[in-house]
Structure 1
Amino acid sequence: MRTAAGPAVGALIVLAAVATACTPPQLQRADARRSTPPPTATSALTTPGFPPGPDRARDQLARLTVAWGKNWQTYKRSEFGAGWSDETDAPGGRNGCDTRDDVLRRDLKDLREDARDPCVVVSGTLHDPYTGKELPYSHRRASRIETDHVVALGAAWRAGAWAWTPARRLAYANDLDVLLAADKDTNYAKSSWTPDKWKPPRKEYWCEYGRRWTGIKAKYGLTVTAPEKRALQELLATCG
């Protein structure tokens, strides 16, 4: 049975669909975020037991395949997705927060979050692991803090990520085990170098850097070059 209200209802549905289609993507994402339960203190921002302890890291390093990097000339950042994504099963994924915000929430101290959106970090301080610098952060100001892939995307590509599916590369790029908040200039100097070409200026961090690098390579089944393996052994030797 057709009622007189039918055409009006249909028109409203069409208008709603048009409004949604015309809404800018960033506003659609904001609406989706508001409909997602806010993150809690128990949100998994790191895999339990990561990075591995010194002994486990040494064992993992001994088991990694030694091989020269491949296909370096075909690397493109876009192969790992178009940017930060919450749509992965990696630590921090699917919690309603941007990956970079997750890193800041985990790595900054004296943290202050937005009262309306706990995903957003308003301010805090980073004790930079690579240099030991104390770096202030403010959501409304340019920051000296960047989000670093410990094993850079280019380094992962050469070590085997070139053969992965797009979904696995996206997960890697947004895996909080792979990521650290770090000093911008130091991150730039690090680039995609492996440990035989670059080590953190702060030697007190060498042990953990070696553990993290080895743990990431083991987690994703990536290869290491012979010089890289020797450098990792030297880093792990500082663990005592």
Structure 2
Amino acid sequence: MSTVAAICAAVALLAGCSAAPLADAPAATPAELVEQVAAAGGDADPVGLAEAAADVLDGIAIAPRTEWDGRFDRVGSFGDGWGDPDGNGCDARNDALQQALAHAELLADGCRVASGVLDDPYTGETIAFERGPRTSEHVQIDHVVALYNAWRTGAQDLAYEERVAFANDPLNLQPTAGWANDDKQASDASQWLPPDEDYHCTYVSRQIAVKATYGLWVTQSEHDAMHGVLAACREAVP
């Protein structure tokens, strides 16, 4: 910038000059949002996360859910059971449990989680997990974007392999209290949010990251609910 231009910008109000407006920061991409979501709960900046999620939300199409056509079923639409997307020999469910549980103890196969303690971000509860026919259900794996919601907002147009990847993507898997997972079912953000309000920003940001990654759309009510949560996140931090 020349000396004259610098002086003009500094004394614009007094001299009657108009300084050039600052350029807007570039909008966050879905890949950048995924990186920020991965850091959430650690050193993630909540305002930065909300702003990145809002940028990505602006690029997601808004459309009504498709009508029920009888073609959805868990196995036929998203695969039979849990896959092993990272090829480490352990299924996605047990990978998610190992990642989320403190003091995780494994069975002899080195994959299946026998016990551990979940600090549940959805509910704020501390839950002791013990593998067993009557106890495993106390900690369930939530699909952050529910499978049926995904099916009716674009997933039915994905290839089968993409839908299986969606159902096993760590970005879309969150261990939580069984009752919370049962309560949510296939709800979107306009119908259900985690009981612990402190996780709303990360939860909605994860949903947006998942939907953007897989090219899914949101309904108008879903968009408005997400936008409201993100606005509150940005206002909550001074």
Given the alignment of the two structures, is residue 123 of structure 1 paired with residue 110 of structure 2, yes or no?
A: no
Equivalent residue for 2:50?
Answer: 54
Aligned residues: 188
Q: What is the correspondence of 1:158-237 to structure 2 with a 5 Å cutoff?
A: 158-237=152-231
**Alpha-carbon distance in 1 for matches of 2:105, 2:231:** 37
Using the TM superposition, give the Cα deviation of residue 221 of structure 1 relative to its aligned residue in structure 2, in angstroms.
0.9
**Alpha-carbon distance in 2 for matches of 1:70, 1:195:** 17
1:76 pairs with one of 51, 73, 77 = 73
Equivalent residue for 2:61?
Answer: 65
Using the TM superposition, give the Cα deviation of residue 209 of structure 1 relative to its aligned residue in structure 2, in angstroms.
0.9
Give the alignment's TM-score, normalised by structure 1. 0.74
1:72–1:154 Cα contact (<8 Å) kept:
no
1:209–1:235 Cα contact (<8 Å) kept:
no
Q: Deviations over 1:124-178 (max 9, x none)?
A: 1111111111111112461300011010000000110011111111111111110
Q: Which amino acid aligns with 1:147?
A: I
Equivalent residue for 2:106?
Answer: 113
**Alpha-carbon distance in 2 for matches of 1:71, 1:179:** 26
**Alpha-carbon distance in 2 for matches of 1:186, 1:139:** 19
1:71–1:162 Cα contact (<8 Å) kept:
no
**Alpha-carbon distance in 2 for matches of 1:238, 1:130:** 18
**Alpha-carbon distance in 2 for matches of 1:213, 1:98:** 22
1:135 pairs with one of 127, 132, 135 = 127
Using the TM superposition, give the Cα deviation of residue 194 of structure 1 relative to its aligned residue in structure 2, in angstroms.
0.7
Equivalent residue for 1:24?
Answer: none
2:83–2:92 Cα contact (<8 Å) kept:
yes
Using the TM superposition, give the Cα deviation of residue 48 of structure 1 relative to its aligned residue in structure 2, in angstroms.
4.3
1:98 pairs with one of 77, 85, 91 = 91
1:66–1:225 Cα contact (<8 Å) kept:
yes
Give the alignment's TM-score, normalised by structure 2. 0.75
Q: Deviations over 1:57-92 (max 9, x none)?
A: 110001100001114333211210111111x4xxxx
Q: Which amino acid aligns with 1:172?
A: F
